[in-house]
Each structure stands twice: as structure tokens, then as C-alpha cells.
Amino acid sequence: MSKALMARLDRLLANLGYGSRKDVQALVAGGKVVLDGKVLKDAGLRIAVDATLPERMTIRGAPVDPPAPLVLIMHKPLGVTCSHKEDGEKIYDLLPRRWRLRDPGLSTVGRLDKETSGLILITDDGDFLHRVISPKRHVPKTYLATLDRPLAGAEDEVFAAGTLMLDGEEKPLLPAVLDVVDAKTARLTITEGRYHQVRRMFAAVGNHVVALHRERIGGLTLPADLEPGQHRILPAAEAEAVFDV
């Protein structure tokens, strides 16, 4: 069960991106905020906030946006970046506009390259984010890689050995598991998150990744009905599946 925190109404709505404190005070004064069927008149009212709030509160007749902490699962399409800073289309552009104004803000849990598709988590929960990407936890991530050349046959042993050094690095990679799908397709499960790791691993064995798609993080699989660019809210208990490995 989610724990309810108390928050001032104007602060809550400002943090959810509904406008400045002044804007949301005007919204309340205009009778646009309804809680449990009652129009709220006092923007300074303290209310209990938990994941059920969108079932209880409406703003201009629409359910209020989900409060923090929020975890989203997204099917990242090709061609968008996970960075807030880089040029070009960003993964955040695929979310509702107001969500870009939230405080705390939303960030991806680790990153996928612009030309990698698949499962990505997005959250405003710093504790959850750090637990997933912590190098100490070794949360496994599974990628489907399409290769330029046929596999030579010994890549699984090279990746499993725990001795592979990537160019410019000082520590060998941890053991990784390769499952061959066909001559030019393989699933690779890694437990680290080094820069361009999967592409560099195949480059290290003389191959080249032509397409990369993340299928799984820990115990969480990309749902088959989540189309590229779509996202869904993950209830806290489902998000914890990441650690079920």
C-alpha cells in the first residue's frame, strides 16, 4: 500500500506543472479543482497525497496527474536521445507536455543510445533510480543484437570469461551471457552499464551491431503491447520486479 504524504494544494499542483503558485491559486479560486466530489476553495489546504490521488481529484474536469514518486516504463523508439541536454528529439518530448515541468523532474534510469530501441524506465524517484543503476546491484539487462557478420562461434566464451577489456578501459568486463538466436542475431545479458557497452563488446570480437533493442531489465520485460514511443505508469510493486532476479 502506498504511504500518503501531506502537501499544500497550491504547492502540489505547482510541482505537478499546473503553473506557478499564483496560477494554481487562480485555478482553485475559479472552482476548477475538485477532491472527493467537492470543489476546493482554499489553495492552502493540506491534503493527503498518494498514488490514488488521480482517482479522487480532478482539475478542470480531468484526473490530476499522478503525483511523485512516479515510475514509467517506455518503449523507446529509435532516433530519440535520453539526455536532457543533447540536440534533437528527446525521450521527454514523448511524454505529456506538463510532465516536463514537474518538480522533482523525470529522468531516465540509465540511458540507451539514440539508435537503440526498447525498454527504458523513467522516474522522479532518485532512490529507485540509484538502486537500479548501482554498480553494486548488478541488475541484469538483456539486449537483442542484430549483427553485420555471422557469429564466429566462440563469442559466448569470450563474453563469459570476465576478462574482456574494452578499448581505453582499465578494468575487464564482468562475465556476460550470450544466447545465439541465429547466425547474425544474439541476446546478450550484461550486469554493468558501461558507455556503448554492447556495441563495444561485439566490436571487440570483430563484429558490428547494426540494430540493438533492450528487452529486459532484471525481472521486468518490455510488454509486447507497448508500441515504440508509448509509455505506461508502473505501480511501485511492479517496478520492484526489476530486482527480482
The answer to whether the bond into 104 is cis (omega within 30° of 0) is yes
Q: Provide the minimum distance between the beta carbon of 110 and ligand URA in the complex, in angstroms, as a whole number.
A: 8
152: which 3 cell numbers?
564466429
Q: Provide the minimum distance between the beta carbon of 128 and ligand URA in the complex, in angstroms, as a whole number.
A: 20
For residue 121, which phi and psi values (nearest 5 degrees)? -100, 145
Q: Provide the minimum distance between the beta carbon of 219 and ligand URA in the complex, in angstroms, as a whole number.
A: 19
- 50 tagged catalytic: no
Q: Which is nearer to ligand URA, 90 or 102 (CB)?
A: 90
Number of residues that bind ligand URA (CB under 6 A): 8
Residues 164-223 that bind ligand URA (CB under 6 A): 196-199, 212
By the 8 A CB rule, do 2 and 52 touch?
yes
CB hemisphere CA count around 102 (13 angstroms): 22
H/E stretch holding 5: strand 5-8
147 contacts ligand URA (rule: CB under 6 A): no
Q: Which is nearer to ligand URA, 2 or 197 (CB)?
A: 197
Q: Which is nearer to ligand URA, 102 or 214 (CB)?
A: 214
- Tell me which of 65, 87, 113, 179 is the catalytic residue: 113
For residues 162 and 30, what is the distance between their CA atoms, to the nearest angstrom? 63
For residues 34 and 174, what is the distance between their CA atoms, to the nearest angstrom? 53
Residue with cell 522516474: 123
116 contacts ligand URA (rule: CB under 6 A): yes
Q: Which is nearer to ligand URA, 27 or 112 (CB)?
A: 112
112 contacts ligand URA (rule: CB under 6 A): yes
**144: Cα separation from own chain's centroid:** 18
Q: Provide the minimum distance between the beta carbon of 196 and ligand URA in the complex, in angstroms, as a whole number.
A: 4
For residue 236, which phi and psi values (nearest 5 degrees)? -50, -40
As annotated, the active-site residues are 113
- Residues forming contacts to ligand URA in the complex (CB under 6 A) are 112-113, 116, 196-199, 212
